[in-house]
Amino acid sequence: MDKNTINEMDNVVVRFSGDSGDGMQLTGTLFSNLSAILGNEISTFPDFPSEIRAPLGTLGGVSGFQVHLGSSKIYTPGDDADVLVAMNPAALKVNIKSIKKTGIIIFDTDSFEKSDLAKAELLTDNPFEELGVSDATQLIPVALSSLTQKSLEGFGFDNKTILRSKNMFSLGLICWLFNRPIDKAIHFLENKFGKKPDILHANIKVLTDGFNYGNNLHLTVSTFQVDKSHDTPKGNYTSISGNKAAAWGLIAASQKSGLELFLGSYPITPATDIMQELALRKDMGVKVVQAEDEIAGVTSALGASFAGSLAATTTSGPGLALKAEAIGLAVMAELPLVIIDVMRGGPSTGLPTKTEQTDLLQALYGRNGESPVVVMAASTPDNCFHFAYMASKIALEYMTPVILLTDAFIGNGTSLWKLPTLAEMPEINPPYASSEMTDYRVTTRNEATKVRYWSVPGTEGLGHRNGGLEKDYFTGTISTDPKNHEKMVETRMQKVNNVSQIIPELKVEGNENAELLVIGWGGTQGHLMTAVNSINKKGGKIALAHFNYINPLPKNAIEVIKSYKKVVVCELNSGQFATFLRSEVSGVEFLQYNKVQGQPFTAAELEEHFSKL
């Protein structure tokens, strides 16, 4: 390839990888944001270890950030990387299986000394040969550390501070490789380091030197060009992570409903970012109680709900288990409550930083007694906003706990987000009890919807006693009457089923004459859509029904499923949604495609599997 060749690509995957402290997350974020500003579709995924700072250069400490850029619609952060930036041999070793054969590896020669190879548990002097890197892969050795040291000579920084900037050298190099002007990157740096002019100046210097180094590189490397996307609907965009989007969805619902937002929560990976984002938003009047444990997180939220707030709690699998009894109380007390579970690998502590869809049955059934709740799932980083908003709306309008499932993949990943306005969000109308209800009881309800009327402490004339004991349907007092209990069980179930009246019908995408229906739910949507589109592009006939609402199911779900000859349910667990569908839809043979590795699907593995069905 000639030095000046430009490869025009529809989409490209870049993976930055190094030690946890190498600044790979920042480098990746800056690169994806400036690509988006230049009009690309983007999707990103950070992949980091649960150790905060594992020993330098070891396999356990490798932190990665993958960016997918496209000039047409992209749905995922991509499967294998076209370009890998490896800051040390451990990063190379960890990522070796996810680089395309014809890809490019940029690596820091200063970190490929004998001792570095030993830390990565490599046995020979040639890691590329040892790891079986293909001859078709281009290697670009760059002395990132020493070049950065040279770049910052005379700045008066100590060596440790200087080396912290080497990620900017690699970013400069990548900007050159992708024909990205660096002025946008400089603009981002100004926003980030504006208050530390020394650091800002140093970072800009290293970034610029990295870019120029690429420009003057004596090696022959072709650069990439990914054009502006024309598939993206016109509008104002930002890039947003699923966790931040979920936090903002709750804020939007609070503003729309006019209710104060209360979050009771306890730090847990990978959900903590939601609490941290909400703690920042005092300007929006958000009250955040960092509770003493998961149980106090949910019970303080339930107290706030009883007192008239829009109340939420955020957690991951182990936390959801601890909250189970309190969610049952919310079912019994018929109080609105939003529970966001950012799922991770389980059981027990499991794989705290990795993604899985293994909490579905826990969300549906993990409580004592007949305890129906609304269960829904977001499917992309940006739609965490919409579904957190809808979870709030449903909880408030149906006086019920709602469990919103997201996962580490979409929670930490980012995608483009078209900025909404509050005006365009649907109305939220909680069923307030009116002071004209002269005989108001805690169980007074709308007989059509079965929704209980909400009277908030402080309101004169509507005092009542709520609680976890069974209540008489009519008087609201404690009751152990057998028939009454059954009636109350049915009423609470009917109320949750009635939510199907306001949720959208299930949409099928893909080929209209498809015989094979792929079914997915939650955060796997991007990979499933990519695989289905790819098969159809090659002349296949396949369709995708992706679920965001699980309990209750969309009204047309059964009819849709029954209209296909073959149905395969794909999920990152051992078949939990398939199990649920079997209990809801009779006479259908549900095939399964499952993966429980703490990692998302790849579009390639899905495509391969679907082609065989």
Taking CB under 8 A as the criterion, which residues in 190-219 touch other proteins?
Answer: 191
Q: Does residue 284 bind other proteins (CB under 8 A)?
A: yes
> Phi/psi class of residue 92: alpha, beta or left (left: φ > 0; alpha: ψ in -120 to 50)?
alpha
Q: Does residue 305 bind other proteins (CB under 8 A)?
A: yes
456-495 footprint of other proteins as x/- string (CB under 8 A): -xxxxxxxxxxxxx-------xx-----------------
As a whole number of angstroms, the distance between CA 97 and CA 442 comes to 59
Instruction: Name which of 462, 391, 393, 400 is nearest 429 in CA terms.
Output: 393
Out of 4, 348, 421, 586, the residue judged to bind other proteins by CB under 8 A: 421
Whether 357 contacts 386, CB under 8 Å: no
Q: Does residue 422 bind other proteins (CB under 8 A)?
A: yes
CB of 282 to other proteins, least distance (A): 4
Instruction: Specify the residue, 125 or 231, whose C-beta has the smaller distance to other proteins.
Output: 231
Interface of this chain with other proteins, residues 71 to 100, rule: CB under 8 A: none
Q: Does residue 283 bind other proteins (CB under 8 A)?
A: yes
Interface of this chain with other proteins, residues 550 to 609, rule: CB under 8 A: none
Whether 13 contacts 80, CB under 8 Å: yes
Out of 21, 303, 350, 431, the residue judged to bind other proteins by CB under 8 A: 303
Instruction: Determine whether 102 is exposed, middle or buried from the number of CB atoms within 10 Å of its CB (0-12, 13-18, 19+).
Output: exposed
Candidate ranges 9-17, 35-43, 208-216, 405-413; the one touching other proteins (CB under 8 A): 35-43
Both structure tokens of 14:
């870049």
Instruction: Specify the residue, 247 or 499, whose C-beta has the smaller distance to other proteins.
Output: 247
Q: What is the DSSP letter of 345?
A: B
Contacts for 29 with CB less than 8 Å, ≥ 6 apart = 44, 65, 414
Dihedral angle at the C-alpha atoms of 153, 156, 160, 164, nearest 10 degrees? Answer: -70
Q: Does residue 516 bind other proteins (CB under 8 A)?
A: no
Instruction: Specify the residue, 234 or 612, whose C-beta has the smaller distance to other proteins.
Output: 234
Candidate ranges 60-68, 350-358, 451-459, 585-593; the one touching other proteins (CB under 8 A): 451-459
Candidate ranges 204-212, 295-303, 446-454, 536-544; the one touching other proteins (CB under 8 A): 295-303
Instruction: Specify the residue, 60 or 467, whose C-beta has the smaller distance to other proteins.
Output: 467
Q: Please report where in the chains the tokens 């009277």 appear, as a residue.
A: 455
Candidate ranges 118-126, 305-313, 481-489, 505-513; the one touching other proteins (CB under 8 A): 305-313
Out of 152, 291, 312, 399, the residue judged to bind other proteins by CB under 8 A: 291
Whether 453 contacts 433, CB under 8 Å: yes
Q: Does residue 137 bind other proteins (CB under 8 A)?
A: no
Candidate ranges 29-37, 79-87, 122-130, 136-144; the one touching other proteins (CB under 8 A): 29-37
As a whole number of angstroms, the distance between CA 295 and CA 186 comes to 45
Out of 106, 177, 289, 506, the residue judged to bind other proteins by CB under 8 A: 289
Instruction: Specify the residue, 262 or 387, whose C-beta has the smaller distance to other proteins.
Output: 262
Candidate ranges 138-146, 205-213, 278-286, 600-608; the one touching other proteins (CB under 8 A): 278-286
DSSP 3-state of 509? strand
Dihedral angle at the C-alpha atoms of 597, 600, 606, 608, nearest 10 degrees? Answer: -60
CB of 272 to other proteins, least distance (A): 19
The two beta strands, 41-47 and 62-70, are antiparallel
Both structure tokens of 72:
């047409």
CB of 465 to other proteins, least distance (A): 4
Whether 85 contacts 140, CB under 8 Å: no
Whether 299 contacts 262, CB under 8 Å: no
Both structure tokens of 371:
């305890």
Instruction: Specify the residue, 37 or 131, whose C-beta has the smaller distance to other proteins.
Output: 37
Q: What is the DSSP letter of 300?
A: H
Q: What pairs with residue 263 in β-bridges? A: 288, 312
Count of all residues that appear for the chain in the document: 613
CB of 60 to other proteins, least distance (A): 33
Q: Please report where in the chains the tokens 């005989």 appear, as a residue.
A: 439
Q: Rounded to the nearest 5 degrees, what angle is found at the Cα of 602, between the Cα atoms of 134 and 128? A: 20
Q: Does residue 171 bind other proteins (CB under 8 A)?
A: no
Instruction: Specify the residue, 382 or 607, whose C-beta has the smaller distance to other proteins.
Output: 382
Instruction: Specify the residue, 125 or 325, whose C-beta has the smaller distance to other proteins.
Output: 325
Q: Does residue 419 bind other proteins (CB under 8 A)?
A: yes
Instruction: Specify the residue, 53 or 418, whose C-beta has the smaller distance to other proteins.
Output: 418
How many residues of this chain bind other proteins (CB under 8 A)?
A: 71
Out of 287, 485, 487, 555, the residue judged to bind other proteins by CB under 8 A: 287
As a whole number of angstroms, the distance between CA 566 and CA 613 comes to 9
Q: Please report where in the chains the tokens 């790979």 appear, as a residue.
A: 24
Interface of this chain with other proteins, residues 245 to 274, rule: CB under 8 A: 248, 251-252, 255-256, 260, 262, 264
The dihedrals phi and psi of 351, each to the nearest 5 degrees, come to -120, 85
Q: Does residue 428 bind other proteins (CB under 8 A)?
A: no
